[in-house]
Amino acid sequence: MNHIMTENHRIVHLDLKGAPPKVEYYEQIFPLFKKFGATGLLLEYEDMFPYKRELAELANPFAYSKEGIAEILELAKNNGLIVIPLVQSFGHFEFVLKHEKFHSLREVPDYPMALCPSNPDSILAVTMMIDQVMDLHSGIKWFHIGADEVYHIGICERCKKRMGTEALTTQQLFFAHIRAVLMHIKKNYPSVIPIMWDDMMRCVELPILLESGLRDLVEPMVWHYLTSFVLPPDWWDRLSRVFPNIWVASAFKGATGSCVYTTNIMYHIDNQMAWLSVIEREKAKFKKIRGVALTGWQRYDHYAVLCELLPHAIPSLAVCLAVLNRGTFNADIHMDVTKQLQFHTTLPLNPFQCHEIPKCNFPGSSIYEGMFELLHLDAVYEDFLHSESRLTWLNDYFVKRNFTNPTHLEAILAQALKIHGNLRQLQAKLQQSLSQIYYVNTVEEWLGVFLNSKVDKMAGLIDDVKNQLKLGGTASRVKYMQLS
């Protein structure tokens, strides 16, 4: 991308609010990131940072230690990767606002999403978080303050009163809080350049943007994860009138569904290609486009289930970085990544069109393969549950009334035993593979959400069939229909 960008950063986003890897896994994958062409990391710690003192309860039981953070930073440095920490400062504040101690900071008492910008304790909490993260990240050049998707603002009585007294709109209220956060960074860390997501500014008229006071305080990061752009048509013109330097953000995973566990690489290739086109068209409007952050979302919010795990998306990251570096996607890139990750056959770009389990060899490849096994087993499982034979001769209504035909149940049992056995086998395999990379809470959650319920469902159906077979089809239809 040297032919397109003033600067050439390719930053890999690690969303640690879900499935944070053990530190040892970074030792294996950071050299790969560098080999793929990454220049840095955007570390969104959330509750994985070892907060202390007044903030101690924000750290989850498996949070990295101070020494663990130092090791991650050293590994990044050894692989030539800059580090940009990310601390949310307004929205997506669930990991703070879920705690009773911080309930008073909520904009809406019943919702833990956004803090109240008019509560003086809010800016104190945010700046304490920033200070603690800064303490463990000396020498950094950029710091990301989040500030995306602030869905609740100007709602509470305190904010309404302030807006009336100071004649503020909700947009101006947003900027006032962000400006306070940025001024704290400028005053205490003058060599650090803040970054923020752009979405809360997209519909703000130019005069208000110019009056926001953010021009010399922050560099926006414009995010867009679709394959065709739907940003406001004049956004680039307005943005360039206010901010000389910007970043952009694509996605290599976590953008196609909140509970999807397989990565559609082709979708993400199209997203990178769309960005290349937009950058080429809009770059002259800015002094610098710093580079691209490739986001890898792991949860859509603090309460959401996990989406695609990082090891499964390593091939997608490799391809996306190659596309950004070379400015296109072609057969050469496809084959290069296939060889780099030691695929036995060509790397599949769309998991839903792949009928075999791809074999490969890279850190976490057993998890990559396991997701394909689950995808195929899921199809068999769903087909069985909704099959004509199961719905006809093993439906819940008839099972409850012990009204079943053993002639058909034996064939259903054979199918159920096979599916259950395959699910149990995959369960054991993924238990082992996940445990090598993730902490026990992640392993338990992933299996509990995506696999265990299927194993239990099949076990229950097998028990139903066996119990019905013992009855031998002797129940009276009339008698048992009268139970309803």
Residue boundaries of the structural domains of the chain: 9-346, 365-481
User: Mean pLDDT across the chain, nearest whole number?
Assistant: 96
Mean pLDDT, range 21-34, rounded to an integer: 98
* pLDDT on residue 1: 38
Checking if the pLDDT of 249 tops 50, the result is yes
Mean pLDDT, range 400-413, rounded to an integer: 92
pLDDT tens sequence across 368-377: 999 999 999 9
- With beta carbons less than 8 A apart as the criterion, state whether 345 and 351 touch: no
* pLDDT on residue 450: 98
Q: Which residue has the higher pLDDT, 470 or 52?
A: 52
5 pLDDT tier (thresholds 50, 70, 90):
very low
> Which of 149, 280, 373, 444 is flagged as catalytic?
149
pLDDT tens sequence across 174-228: 999 999 999 999 999 999 999 999 999 999 999 999 999 999 999 999 999 999 9
Checking if the pLDDT of 482 tops 70, the result is no
pLDDT tens sequence across 59-70: 999 999 999 999
pLDDT tens sequence across 433-466: 999 999 999 999 999 999 999 999 999 999 999 9
Please say whether the structural domain 9-346 has been given the CATH code 1.10.10.10.
no
CA angle 347, 269, 293 (to 5 degrees): 115
Mean pLDDT, range 13-36, rounded to an integer: 98
426 pLDDT tier (thresholds 50, 70, 90):
very high
Mean pLDDT, range 100-120, rounded to an integer: 98
* pLDDT on residue 472: 80
Checking if the pLDDT of 289 tops 80, the result is yes
Checking if the pLDDT of 484 tops 90, the result is no
Is 149 designated active site?
yes
Mean pLDDT, range 257-285, rounded to an integer: 98
pLDDT tens sequence across 304-345: 999 999 999 999 999 999 999 999 999 999 999 999 999 999
Task: Please state which of the ranges 4-8, 38-42, 169-173 shows the lowest mean pLDDT.
Answer: 4-8
Q: Which residue has the tokens 């290609």?
A: 273
Q: Mention every residue, 6+ apart, whose C-beta is less than 8 A from residue 115.
A: 90, 93, 96, 97, 105, 106, 107, 122, 125, 126
* pLDDT on residue 476: 56
Mean pLDDT, range 108-119, rounded to an integer: 98
Checking if the pLDDT of 481 tops 80, the result is no
Task: Please state which of the ranges 3-12, 159-168, 294-303 shows the lowest mean pLDDT.
Answer: 3-12
Checking if the pLDDT of 477 tops 60, the result is no
* pLDDT on residue 3: 40
